[in-house]
Amino acid sequence: MTRYLTFALTKGRLADKTLEKLESIGITCEEMKDKSSRKLIFVNEELRLKFFLAKGPDVPTYVEHGVADIGVTGKDIIMEENRAIYEVLDLDFGKCRMCICGYPKAKELLSHHEMIRVATKYPRIARDYFHNKKHQTVDIIKLNGSIELAPIVGLSDVICDIVETGTTLKENGLEVLEEVCPLSARMVVNQVSMRMEAERIRSIINKLREKL
Ligand code: PRP
């Protein structure tokens, strides 16, 4: 009996987009379309596939441990988690940017190698950017959400955060000061699965690539 290939998807909008893409290459999961369902795991017996819904930052964990063969989550999360997994495909949706943002007057703090306070949900990305790219010593303050609040209330000088439309920044008088990197949804694969199930996984990657 063919073994199940298991997908770990990021709960929410990213999972919906991922399912749309998978559907375009003939991979469906009817069970998952019921929006009122609180089920977390779904099976397509015919294709021998399983899908589960996880929080974004947990997707690389499931994939590294091999309980999911394939995962789909944001590049931000993949960089921050830094797990031993293969990133195999840029899915070209969920596009946004990781940026250093703040009040316009904070811009000069970024050009003088001064010690500044950076609030972020992504301490690894922020540390890597300031230490390795800008050679600037910073004090990283880890927050879990509503990062834009930090410079407003005086917790930090700047933030390192995701910008999609820029609306949150604009409505709070903040702006993009520097761009760290572009982001989008990526497909990741467990390193052992990539060898053991090479044929099935490669075929999925290739079909998806053709749809990009
Ligand atoms: C993200 C991000 C920004 C916002 C950017 O937050 O952290 O706050 O979206 O989007 P925009 O540029 O289109 O305004 P999210 O809504 O995921 O919630 P969070 O504040 O809990 O991180």
Residue 145 per-residue DSSP state = S
Burial class (CB in 10 A: 0-12, 13-18, 19+), 160: buried
Ligand 1 pocket: which of 101, 125, 164, 176 to mutate (most atoms within 8 A of CB): 164
CA 143 to chain centre: 17
Query: Which residue, among 42, 81, 88, 89, has the nearest Cα to 65 in the 3D structure?
Result: 81
1, pLDDT greater than 90: no
**Residues 10-20: pLDDT tens digits?**
999 999 999 99
Task: Say what the pLDDT of residue 117 is.
Answer: 98
**How large is the average pLDDT for residues 91-117?**
95
Same topology, domains 5-94+184-211 and 96-181? Answer is yes
In this prediction, residue 34 carries a pLDDT of: 81
**In the prediction, which pLDDT does 37 show?**
85
Whether residue 165 has its Cβ less than 6 Å from ligand 1: yes
How do residues 129-184 score in pLDDT, each as one tens digit?
Answer: 999 999 999 999 999 999 999 999 999 999 999 999 999 999 999 999 999 999 99
Q: Give the mean model confidence (pLDDT) for residues 48-72.
A: 97
The tokens describing 30, both together, are 């009817």
Whether 110 contacts 65, CB under 8 Å: no
Q: In CATH terms, is domain 5-94+184-211 a member of 1.25.40.10?
A: no
pLDDT at res. 113: 83
Could you tell me the residue ranges of all domains in the chain?
Answer: 5-94+184-211, 96-181
Quick check: 35 pLDDT over 90? no
Closest residue (by CA) to atom 17 of ligand 1? 145
* Banded pLDDT at 2 (limits 50, 70, 90): very high
The verdict on domain 96-181 having CATH code 3.40.190.10 is yes
Q: To the nearest whole number, what is the mean pLDDT of the chain?
A: 96
In which band, very low, low, confident or very high, does the pLDDT at 33 lie, cut at 50, 70 and 90? confident
Atom of ligand 1 nearest to the CA of 168: 14
C-alpha 66 – ligand 1 centre gap (Å): 30
Whether ligand 1 lies within 6 angstroms of the CB of 36 is answered as no
CA distances from 65 to 98, 132, 171, 172 (A): 27, 29, 41, 40
- Which residue CA neighbors atom 2 of ligand 1 most closely? 162
Give the residue-averaged pLDDT of 83-109. Answer: 97
pLDDT in tens, 70-84: 999 999 999 999 999
Q: Which residue's alpha carbon is nearest to atom 21 within ligand 1? A: 145
